[in-house]
């Protein structure tokens, strides 16, 4: 199965999924990669703490605007990567047809869930960044393997 398009989903689409989206775009430049949130803070830019941690790792979140996940949006992608099992359940509830293409971003790193760093310390963001980076690199190996 070729995954030419990937949608990354978190809660607000301002911390975790924008980081994962930009990282995956960097390491998989030939794919269509976007992000959304199950409870998106629609049109908000990336969280300042997410911007700061990304910058520290030479990743730019400029121009990001939070987008709400919808069934119609989900249908446009081959693979939907979520941060937590609860995101998988929420999407499956209002988008049952998407169920078969949803996986955890941390699937290949021990099915790890990636915790929400929103309103937490810069250390929390750093730790989440490392988890996302590790998870994205594990997908690179699977998708290009």
Count how many residues are written for the chain: 145
Our count of domains for the chain comes to 1
pTM of the shown model: 0.96
Minimal CA–CA distance to 71: which of 96, 47, 103, 88? 96
Q: 130 is in which domain, residue-wise? A: 5-144
Set 78, 116, 133, 137: catalytic member: 116
Mean pLDDT of the chain: 96
* pLDDT score of 94 more than 90: no
Please give the average per-residue pLDDT across 6-35, as a whole number: 97
On the question of pLDDT at 61 being above 80, the answer is: yes
Does position 93 have pLDDT exceeding 80, yes or no?
yes
Kindly tell me the burial class for residue 1, based on how many C-beta atoms sit within 10 Å of its own C-beta (0-12, 13-18, 19 or more): exposed
136 labelled catalytic: no
Dihedral sign computed on CA atoms, order 137, 140, 142, 145: negative
Please say if 4 is a catalytic residue: no
Range name among 20-24, 58-62, 93-97, 114-118 with the lowest pLDDT average: 93-97
Q: Is 70 exceeded by the pLDDT of residue 2? A: yes
- Catalytic entry in 15, 16, 47, 136: 16
Q: Please give the helix or strand (H or E) that residue 138 lies within, else none.
A: helix 122-144
CA 25 to chain centroid, in Å, comes to 11
For the record, the structure tokens of 132 come out as 């996302």
Structure-block tokens of residue 139: 């997908």
- pLDDT category, 1, cuts 50, 70, 90? low
Mean pLDDT, range 109-135, rounded to an integer = 97
Instruction: Output the pLDDT for position 144.
Output: 83
Q: What is the pLDDT of residues 4-15, one digit of tens each?
A: 999 999 999 999
CATH number of the domain at 72, please. 3.40.50.2300
15 classed as catalytic: no
**φ/ψ of residue 66, rounded to 5:** -65, 140
The one catalytic residue among 10, 22, 47, 136 = 10
């Amino acid at each position: 199965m070729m995954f030419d398009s990937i949608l990354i989903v978190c809660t607000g689409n301002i911390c975790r999924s924008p980081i994962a989206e930009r990282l995956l775009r960097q390491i998989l430049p030939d794919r269509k990669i976007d992000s959304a949130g199950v409870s998106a803070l629609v049109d908000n830019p990336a969280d300042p703490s997410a911007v700061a941690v990304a910058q520290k790792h030479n990743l730019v979140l400029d121009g990001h605007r939070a987008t709400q996940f919808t069934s119609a949006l989900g249908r446009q992608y081959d693979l939907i990567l979520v941060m937590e099992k609860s995101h998988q359940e929420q999407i499956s509830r209002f988008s049952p047809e998407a169920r078969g293409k949803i996986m955890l971003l941390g699937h290949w790193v021990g099915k790890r869930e990636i915790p929400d760093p929103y309103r937490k310390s810069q250390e929390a963001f750093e730790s989440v960044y490392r988890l996302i980076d590790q998870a994205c690199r594990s997908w690179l190996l699977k998708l290009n393997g």
